[in-house]
Chain A
Amino acid sequence: MNPLRVALAVARKDLRSEWRTRELVPALAQFIILALLIGNFGFQIDSRNAASIAPGILWLALVFAGLVAFGRTFTAEREQASLEAMLMTPASPVAIFAGKAIAASALLVVCEAVMLPALSLFFGTPLSGGVAAAVLLATVGMASLGCLFAAIVARVRARELLLPLLTLPLWIPFIIAGGQAVQSAMGQGGNYGGAISLLIDFDILFVVLTSLAARFVLDE
């Protein structure tokens, strides 16, 4: 079986089930708007400080929305015990894992499509391609790590507790590089190109490592 086709089929399945229930994306979009609201009250935003505070709020909202999104990737499979059925097919576990990661990151990208305009609307920061590129590049690596650990905690007690504990420390490289890139794209100075190439390096590193590790996590 062609692994690419398997991955796309799994991703299509996940996206179709999300499209039919429409549970996760509206909830996450609302969550993100609420996070912006809390940022506003927590910081006393005005036109002078918005550009320096907005990147921080962006990453906080994105990271926690991501945790919710990736925490749900294996929930339905666990409840229906359908992961075992998928693993019994000749499809490779890595392809199945990749499909789930693609679907989860697509859902997160939809949430980002809500977040970036909202951020620009409420905080008056420029809505530039530079910001979007940094956020999208970070999403790739964050999704691969997030799905790997979601697969791990799916079979562990207290999974809601463990997922943030395992995932957040390993997301920090993306937040460091992505934070620099977004700050510089919002006119706070700094080396935008350097931060973006660092993001690409981290993406390659973690996508390769997670696909190597996925076999050991799913194959049971």
Chain B
Amino acid sequence: MNRYEKAAGAAVALMLIAGAAIFFYAPTDWLQGPVQRIFYLHVSSAIAAFGSFAVVLVGGVIYLRNASPVADRLARAGALVGVVFTTVTLVMGMLWAKKVWGAFWVWDARLTSTLVLWIIYAGYLLVRRLADPGRQAARFAAVVGIFGFIDVPVVYFSVSWWATQHPGPVIINDALPPQMLATFLFTMACTAVLAGVMIAIRYRIEALLDERERVFEPANVIVAREPQTAP
């Protein structure tokens, strides 16, 4: 087992423990019933998605400053993992909404801006796929990633800026009973570990791909050879 497999195993084990905490430790919500248990993973994966997109932002800024392939690979890995966690957030939110609001989707600012976030970073991944890999694609993607991040604060503050059906922040407003808060914080930490491991594994895949395609080597490099001695 190499260290990536070990890290992945540890992250999965942590998520299983978090699942046990969600179903057996956290109390059932008095008003909503068991469906409220979606909350823990729904919010955790939203925060993990924000964190992954922050990696894309930072990687993009660093890439534009010094063209470091490391920063670009980190950004690529962050974008993919961020899209995965945004998908989880959206799907779990829709299931929860169907139960408590009676519809999978309402067009309020939080839901709409989150959907836009998903589209922006799915577009980022498409740019990476359609542009010829190399410095130019990395630079363009960095610009897309930096502009895309504008939507992250919009998603976060949408519940305060507009009247939304989606509830406002419950964690920072101290609206949770202690057992729920403990379960949430634990799930949040486990999800953060999972996101970090996923980014690390994806980084490794991207590095291997770059090596195979030789994308960051200058096209016109002259490979130094041993001077051939005339026979």
Contact = CB atoms under 8 A, between A and B. Distances in A.
Q: A and B: partners?
A: yes
A89 to B, nearest CB: 21
B205 interface: no
A169 interface: yes
B140 A209 contact: no
Contact of B143 (A161, A173, A216): A216
A132 interface: no
Contacts of A29: none
B215 to A, nearest CB: 15
B101 to A, nearest CB: 22
A156 B123 contact: no
A158 B132 CA distance: 11
B143 A162 contact: no
Contacts, number: 62
A38 interface: no
Contacts of B116: 169, 172
B142 A166 contact: no
Nearest to B124: A166
A172 B126 CA distance: 19
A5 interface: no
A148 B126 CA distance: 17
A169 B64 contact: no
B144 interface: yes
B139 interface: yes
B140 A170 contact: no
B130 A209 contact: no
A169 B119 contact: yes
Contact of A156 (B120, B131, B143, B147): B131
B127 interface: yes
12 contacts: A152-B143, A162-B127, A165-B119, A169-B119, A169-B120, A170-B120, A170-B148, A209-B146, A209-B150, A216-B64, A216-B142, A217-B140
The 6 closest A-B pairs by CB, nearest first: A165-B123, A156-B131, A152-B140, A169-B120, A169-B119, A158-B130
